Amino acid sequence: MAIATMGVTVLDCPDPRALAAFYAAVLDWRVSDKDDNGGEWVELDGPHGRQLAFQRSEGYRPPEWPGTEHGQQFHLDLDVPADRMDEAERQVIALGAKLLEDDHGGTRDWRVFADPAGHPFCLCVL
């Protein structure tokens, strides 16, 4: 029997509402209507009970990718159909993401980006 079950994944950031809006647009998830904390914590509700949350962190410093001094600690892999990869890249950049590393001319099945708060995430071919 498992000791615990996986709950929500939480990202520290300077502006939880802004980062929640970015991921809501990328994932087509809904920003939760629960907000009784002054915007210090914002949740996204996805399919099958999945949740992603954003927590205000004073003095937040974004990770450096691929550096190790302020390492990424973790990242999100987001799946995209292969024939939509270029379009997905354009869309996440338009939403405020920054391309950190491309797919090396198609030799890899992923591209690395930073979200508006600097967290690395990958768009990965399904």
Cis previous bond, 66, omega within 30:
yes
Domains and CATH numbers, the chain: 1-60 (3.10.180.10), 62-126 (3.10.180.10)
Asked whether 122 and 113 are in contact (CB, 8 A), the reply is: yes
Predicted local confidence at residue 121, as pLDDT: 92
pLDDT tens readout for residues 7-39: 889 999 999 999 999 999 999 999 987 766 778
Burial class (CB in 10 A: 0-12, 13-18, 19+), 15: middle
Predicted local confidence at residue 123, as pLDDT: 93
Mean pLDDT of 103-121: 93
* Residue that the structure tokens 């990242």 belong to: 75
Strands 110-114 and 120-125: antiparallel
Predicted local confidence at residue 63, as pLDDT: 86
Residue type, 21: A
At 73 the three-state DSSP class reads coil
Q: What is d(CA 13, CA 86) in angstroms, rounded to the nearest whole number?
A: 27
Tell me the pTM: 0.86
pLDDT tens readout for residues 42-99: 999 999 999 999 999 998 988 888 777 766 677 899 999 999 999 999 999 999 999 9
CA 34-37-43 angle, to 5 degrees, is: 45
Nearest CA to 79 among 126, 46, 120, 121?
Answer: 126
Predicted local confidence at residue 4, as pLDDT: 57
Predicted local confidence at residue 36, as pLDDT: 64
Predicted local confidence at residue 88, as pLDDT: 95
